[in-house]
Structure 1
Amino acid sequence: MQMTYDFIDHAIAVSSVPPPFEIPRLQFVDAGLALAYTQALPENKNVSTSSTRATGAYLLEEWITDDGGEFTKFIHKVSCTPLIDPDEESYDIAEFLRPRFLLLTNSLRSKVGKGQDLFGEGNIEKGVERFENDHVCNSFCKLPAFGLKPFGGVEPSTSTA
């Protein structure tokens, strides 16, 4: 996430024209791993030592909701298509996440993973593979300061004919 905002901040700083819209500032959820242990009693009652063994592992995540107490998922990890409708209040965040989806996954793979697959088995890899075909460029992609080359799907028509 920080690499994404470093790129955005640098591009805007060196651009002669500021973006005509606000760039959303988001963050990852704080998370941690909790391990539960059980103390195992010694099998031989004459031995005073005991051991512990892990009996469970739990992923703990920060509790997140919007102002109304509901969690909003903006974009799915297998597709760059927003999961909320254009007339919904936070659609600008979903639009912001569309091009960031590829930037983030490519940054993770090239800088952190040194070209290796960081995602393992699952559907994130499918989403990355389909990105160029499924993506429809939006105002974030088209911002001249970012210097991004357009590709992907065709812009949806706004005509009612």
Structure 2
Amino acid sequence: MARNSVIAGRDISEAALIGYGGFKTAQLAQLTLSPLRPNGIGSEPCQDIIVKRFYIPSKKADQLPAVNDPKDDPKRSLAKRFPRLSVPDELEKLYREANILYWAKSLLQLTYDFIDRAISKAATLPPFDIPRLCFIDAGLLLAVKPNENNAKSSGTANVQTPYLAEELIPNSKSFMKYVHNSEPYPLPEPDEPGYDLAQFLCFTQHIQYVKTGGLAYITDYQGSGALLTDPQILTHPSVNAGKDLFGEGNLVIGVKLFAREHICNAFCRWPGFKLDPPASVDIDF
């Protein structure tokens, strides 16, 4: 069913900019869908969300003029710091981001299905707890210009601004990256917060790699509490006949080196999971 939506504060000012990376900005907004969804993002009116957009990286954003002149137009000033792509180009990139989240959720569900089946069949319970994590709820939102001629149009002709709307992570201060997208081992050191969770996430990579026959696994794990966001999926070049299904972070070298660089931990070695060490897959560059 099609839904109408309202994003409060769409010409988002500097005050609503909560962060930016090398390619994307993240801004605080409010969403109201009509009708409301039964659960997840858009299930309540005036719901706090995060909207993300791509920008064209040139200089470092913190070296560009800040939005601090009350006489200046906040939307225009923000655009100076973060010049946007064309609508078709940005929409394609945001679609890829949403697609990554969609498939990351599926791969993580496959992982937990494997874990739960193994534990249910094991003679004894594992000597550790299984963290229960999930990826944030998200979806594409399009600000569409009304067609004055009341004629049907196709493509992105009437789209003014695309957004990736994401569930707000409440404990943003504890946000951290657990596993980098090019290295299948924990980023935190053993004596640092988040190390045990990073170990578990590396174990999930082992499961995904083995269960897909070395074709795909989630990486770039990051988030706060039980919520994860902004993943990457690394795939073997044979997936989709070599045409990249995911984002620019899909590094073939990661798949090639996974079996060599992955270090099995206590999760991997528990006999109840019956996990063999990951075997190398052939990749020609």
Could you state the TM-score of these two structures normalised by the residue count of structure 2? 0.44
2 CA distance for matches of 1:77 and 1:29?
A: 18
1:40 shift after superposition: 4.7
1 CA distance for matches of 2:138 and 2:261?
A: 30
2 CA distance for matches of 1:23 and 1:11?
A: 12
2 CA distance for matches of 1:17 and 1:55?
A: 57
Bigger proportion of residues as strand = 2
Matched, 1:59 2:164: yes
Pick aligned residue for 1:36 from 143, 146, 149: 143
Pick aligned residue for 1:150 from 274, 277, 283: 277
Task: Name the SS for the 2:158 alignment partner.
Answer: strand
Matched, 1:17 2:124: yes
**Does the Cα contact within 8 Å between 1:4 and 1:104 map onto a contact in 2?**
yes
Deviations 1:9-51 (A, max 9, x none): 110111112111111111111111111112254xxxxxx5367
1:65 shift after superposition: 5.2
2 CA distance for matches of 1:119 and 1:24?
A: 26
Instruction: Give structure 1 stretches of 5+ with no counterpart.
Output: 42-47, 153-161
1 CA distance for matches of 2:275 and 2:267?
A: 9
Task: Name the SS for the 1:59 alignment partner.
Answer: strand
1:96 shift after superposition: 0.5
**Does the Cα contact within 8 Å between 1:119 and 1:125 map onto a contact in 2?**
no
Instruction: Determine what percentage of the aligned residue pairs are the same residue.
Output: 43
Q: Which amino acid aligns with 2:143?
A: A
- Please tell me the root mean square deviation across aligned C-alpha atoms, in Å: 3.0
Deviations 1:117-150 (A, max 9, x none): 6436543443222211111110011010111123
Larger-Rg structure: 1
1 CA distance for matches of 2:169 and 2:254?
A: 24
1:98 shift after superposition: 0.6
Match of 1:49 in 2: 150
Distance change (3 Å), C-alpha of 1:137 and 1:57: same
| Within-5 A mapping of 1:48-127 | 49=150, 53-64=158-169, 66=171, 69-104=173-208, 107=212, 116=240, 118-119=245-246, 121-127=248-254
Which 4+ residue blocks in structure 1 deviate beyond 4 angstroms?
none
Q: Which amino acid aligns with 2:133?
A: L
Q: Which has the higher contact order (CA 8 A, sep 6+)?
A: 1
Could you state the TM-score of these two structures normalised by the residue count of structure 1? 0.73
